[in-house]
Every structure is written in C-alpha cells, then in structure tokens.
Amino acid sequence: MMVPTIGQLKQLVAYVQSVVFPDYYPSVEKPEVLDLPDEFYTQLPEVARLIQTDVDAVLHNDPAVSDRGEVILSYPLPFTMVHYRTAHVLYRLGVPRIPRMLTELAHSRTGIDIHPAAQIGDHFCIDHGTGVVIGETTIIGSHVVLYQGVTLGAKNFEYDEQGRPKDLPRHPILEDHVTVYSNTSILGRVRIGHDTIIGGNVWLTRDVPANSIVLQTNPEIKIKLKV
C-alpha cells in the first residue's frame, strides 16, 4: 500500500465524521485513493454506534455540557474517538501504516495518545484529555472514565535473542465502570476490578479488586498567613 498523505487521512476522517455525525458534518466522498478493504465500510455502522455512546458518556459525566452538539463540535473526545475507532478497525483488518498515522493525528491535536491496537468498550469518556496515554495491549471495558494525565502503560519489557523488546501483553486491563482521576499511572499487566475509583496522582503496579477506592496518601498540607 502506498504511503498516504496527511490530506488523504484527513479526507478519511472527514468521511467518517460525516457518517457518524451527519447532522453536524457535511457529506464527504469515500477516500477511494486509499483503497481500504470493503469490510472497513461494512463495519462503519458499529463504529458510529460506539462513538455515539462515547458522546453519551461525556453528557453523563460532565455537568458543564450544555447540549450534544457542544460535545461533538468542541470536546476533544469525539475527535479522538473518530480517529481511534477508525484506526482500530483498520488495524484489526491488517491495514499497514494508516492506523498509527490516524491516532497520531489525534494525538497531535488533543494530547490524547491511544495506540490503535488498544481495546476500548462502549460509553468511554476522557474528561479534559491532555496527557492521556493508552498503550498497545490495554483492554478497557464499558463505562470507563479517565481524566487528564492518566497513563495506562507498561512497567517493563522482555527482550528476544536479538535484544528487541517482545510484543507481549504488558498494559493494564480496566473492567467496566472504572474511574481514574488525573495524573495517575497504572503500569503493567494488572487488572482493575469493575466499579473501582482510583484517585489522582496514584502510581499503581498491582491488581485492584472490584468495588475498590484507591487513594494516594499525601503529606499534610499546611496553610499559613503571610506575615
């Protein structure tokens, strides 16, 4: 496959946006020059359904939202998820280069870095978004909320005989209804049980059972009046 241009990738994104949000984006022709598999287009209705649930998740979790159109047109999550969910389908279909290029386009604009191979369920919400990192083998369930600065990363790597890192499962699994607050790092192939809340500024490298609250113990904060 030829190396796509940025313009061609943006046309693909514009096409998907017109399919997912026809009331907000004008109709765009299919990017025939990219020669994508027919199966990609047959999966677009499911992509659209999932992205609509992501918009629903923002509406449910952010009281500052005034209406659905505000989320679609101005929040970073729908823009990011159009890129990621499109890239994920193409990745699973074995299309080279394009999936990673798509997610990097979203990364450059929103500061949200999602590997196209990561698995993310429905009703996914990222609030604010800047600095979020979701690694390649991450698995995220349904109704998961992440805040800015969250990293779902690897703790360490295994290497083969040539000294290259092995592509093994090495990122977290977040079950359904997990919330992770800002600037928390969850590293390694750990499992966070369903209905768990993880507070901000936590460094976590072990499993957490379902229905838990994880908090970072901080030094006491003292406030003094200026003399």
Please identify which residue in the block is written with the tokens 């609030």: 127
For residue 99, being part of any structural domain is answered with: yes
Q: For residue 192, list its beta bridge partners.
A: 174, 208
116-151 pLDDT, tens digit per residue, is 999 999 999 999 999 999 999 999 999 999 999 999
Same domain, 89 and 166: no
Task: Express each pLDDT in 204-225 by its tens digit.
Answer: 999 999 999 999 887 677 788 9
Indicate whether 180 belongs to any domain.
yes
- At position 12, the amino acid (one-letter code) is L
- Cα torsion through 167, 109, 147, 169, rounded to 10: -10
CATH of the domain at 183: 2.160.10.10
Report residue 63 as tokens.
């009281």
Q: Are 59 and 94 in the same domain?
A: yes
Domain count for the chain: 2
